[in-house]
Structure 1
Amino acid sequence: MKKLLTPFEKGTIKFKNHLVMAPMTRSRAIDNLPNELMANYYAQRSGAGLIITEGTSPSPEGLGYPRIPGIYSEAQVAGWKKVTDAVHQNGSKIFLQLMHTGRIAHVANLPNGILPVGPSDIKAAGEIFTDSLGMQENSVPVALSLDGITRVIEDFVNASKNAILAGFDGVELHGANGYLLEQFLNPNVNNRTDLYGGNLINRSRLILEISEAIAAAIGSDKVGIRFSPFSQLSDQAAYDSEEVHQTYTYLSSELDKLGIAYIHLSTNPEIPEKTYKAIRAVFTNTIIICNGLTAETAEEKLLDNSADLVAFGRGFLANPDFVKRIGKNLSLNDVDFGTLYSPGETGYTDYPLYTSK
């Protein structure tokens, strides 16, 4: 049997297999509320040992995209409880990804009176979709004050507590893809001159303070984080490659001291082998690798111990029975890219299960 399909256990983590469903924004949360359609979607894919949800905002100001869910209200907690109950019925575990979009936002996607925020008031290049106005340029963010940073940390902690109330097995901090936490890491986006800007230790401070506060609130074994070193998504302009390497090595070492459950690496061709090796060397708990894997290359990652778990996005998106298909070497459905972010069942819960021709 493939290692992919065998049970996984490391430290306090126990999953029924080595397969992770990667987090994917799907924009089906009408009024930012998790719903029955979403519960069905995740239940369909609960062959995964671990499901990581779509990015979910810890506060109203983090709702940069249309129809993304939150975890800051009682109604949202109740909606997510339907999801976790459905997933747990099939023996899968589920972590909630906490995503604050920061400057990747438009005011039309935020509640009235709420403005986008960032480490600085530097506007992100590019456009973002809004339901009311169509495509729009990203709004200019308000630079977070020190009090604002304290509030952001408190929002993440409260959201994590709400996640546990909703039945999640843990939370994943979205420190990738150019959203708020990664915005603090990048000196081209973060021009602060206080304790949260300047050198890499200061730029890493927010991630570490949030991680430490959440670990104290719900347990370090219930905390993971997603990184995308060297990525330039969401107008994250490249900076000195050695500094990037040192930043993620430092973060991984400090997170290891906190004892968090895992680091989830969203890979890209720009990441040098030395960065993978450095993270692996300093972080002793679980490492998840994601992006561009096949069943064969994922198996290789597990067998050579470069990863403890492997994550798939599109495979699970288009194939509710993805685990079964891998086990039996069956063909996969193609992704319908036209319906990735549209509301409703089409391209969401209507992907067919495998049937022999």
Structure 2
Amino acid sequence: MVKARKFVVKQAFKGKPKREDYEIVEYELPPLKDNEILIKAEWISVDPFQRVSAHTMVVPYDQFGYQVGAVVQSKNLKYPRGTKVVSFEGWCDYVIVNPNVSSRSTSYYDTIYKLPNLQGLPESLGVGTIGMPGVSAYFGFLDVCKPKAGETVVVTGAAGAVGSIVGQIAKIKGCKVIGFAGSDEKVKWLETELGFDKAFNYKTVDANKALKEAAPEGVDCYFDNVGGELSSAIMSRMRMNGRVSICGSISAYNENGLFDYSTLPKATIVTPFVLANQLTVKGFTYTSVEFSRWSKAFDDFIEWIKSGQLKAPEHITEGFDNLYDAFVGMLAGENFGKAVVKV
């Protein structure tokens, strides 16, 4: 018998997730059945969507999310021992999966796939740039914003897992890139390490005035990870036929009534700017991208990273028991790039 551990959310989050909202459950796994595999987690992802999706869950539930793991036992010929896999099995150190059978009500998250050939790059990227966050950045930006060389792109949450990649893709495509982040240290990092043309600390600047100086002719593309008043200010500075990709709204994720209009914080209306400048505004989640398209993003990322055109920054926390700390730290903006836990 193999002893496993998992994080269970035992009570609904009220505001920021608290340690007492979780418990670590230890249990024994049964012997493998035909077509099943036993996966040992090696890298586990912590992501903003784990907070927002909590609003739709009924407690208790196992904490979901992506992980990279190794097959340590197998009764499935397609997944022999030693195979590295990416799965949506969440915060557990061992798990038994039958890749041939759906085990969840939402079939999209049943996807288990072999870790792409990373050509020597870190396997942790399988839950980062060469995983779901990379897919969100790649298709959320290129499909929705359709950037053209010479255009001005603004990214919020620019130092996070998705925003840091979007800004670099925009530079590769020949755009001027302006980022907003939550500290002076991140601002400096974006400009000196990732090549952003300009970055601002949204906590200490007037975003409208900052953009008026940094982008006097206006903004063509806006990739929004944050929402709220910051987004209203940025959209007020957009040019005719500008495009907005809304990939996140982290400013409101800890609100208890996230999907209840009456409880959400209010921001300046943007409809006058949308109307006058004929803006295209589209919400985007990676689940809208067919899995067959993911490999295109992965191939480009591997090429860009190996050629030095793109950096894949990671904020690594060590230890299974520290998953909660990594999660709340990420929600508080402590991470530079992708937050991931080494099990």
Please give the TM-score of this superposition, normalised by the length of structure 2: 0.32
Please give the TM-score of this superposition, normalised by the length of structure 1: 0.31
The structure with the greater share of residues assigned to helix is 1
The structure with the greater share of residues assigned to strand is 2
Q: Which has the larger radius of gyration?
A: 2
